Copies of this chain bind each other. A is one copy, B any other.
Amino acid sequence: MAKLDFSPIADTTRRAEIVALLRRAILTGQLEPGQKLNELRIAEQMRVSRAPLREAMRELVQEGILTSIPYAGTFVIDVTAKDIDDAYSLNKVLDEFAIDRTWKLRDQRFFNELDRRHEAVKQATRALDTTRQIETALQLHGLIYEWADNSVLLETWQRLTSRLQMYFALHQRARNEPVPADYVHETYVRLLKGNDMRAAQRHAREHIDLDFEELLAYTRGLEKRAGS
């Protein structure tokens, strides 16, 4: 018999679909930070009852992109400069760890996947699809986490990813211009293929710092506006 890998079939609960829809709306910035989610309205729009919607919202609260206040409502989290700073500084540490753990496990499949994801980023960049560009860039970056063979680390990264994607999307919407940032990934991929682990780790740090500076500048602007 031919060896054939079947992927698991899609989750068929409404709840799972609602989670996906809401997450996407939040991470692409369609739902703005601080905005309240009216259960009845959303349930009507999605043509579902409030029960699965509420369960979906609980999941996203635990995922860290919604926040809930009893009897008051559920809101998209606010984005402060400090949150971004916190997320990024933790990300640096995790990157270093992930690269360390992945390093010995790299094989041809890893390199192929790396190229594939890199290509996806470049394609999205050429197509000027900023949302997809952010998504693919984070997926490229996430490969070291998937490869590190540490489930807890991977979970942590996925939680962080949600926030990062949200931050980048907001940043994008504000600037409303495509990001080049292509050569940076070029170097990143090259170093991950090479033999100098410390160099790769160092680059990851610096690469992150780069994006981070831009984000912070944007967010500081946000807070000035909110404070006025």
A interface with B by C-beta (< 8 Å): 11-13, 16, 51, 54-55, 58-59, 61-64, 70-71, 82-83, 86-87, 89-90, 93-94, 96-97, 101, 150-153, 155-156, 159-160, 163
Chain B residue with Cβ nearest A13:
B70
Task: Decide if B160 touches A70 in the complex (CB within 8 Å).
Answer: no
Q: A153 and B62 in contact (CB under 8 A), knowing A55-B55, A70-B13, A70-B16?
A: no
Residues of B within 8 A of A101 (CB): 89
Residue of B nearest to A54 (CB): B55
Identical subunits present = 2
> Complex: how many Å from CA A12 to CA B69?
11
How far apart sit A63 and B59, CA to CA, in the bound complex (Å)?
9
Bound-state Cα–Cα, A221 to B151, Å: 21
Contact assessment for B87 and A152 in the assembled complex, using a CB-CB cutoff below 8 Å = yes
Which residue, A11, A82, A152, has most C-beta atoms of chain B within 10 A? A152
Assuming the contacts A55-B58, A70-B13, A152-B160, asked whether A90 and B97 have C-beta atoms less than 8 A apart, the reply is yes
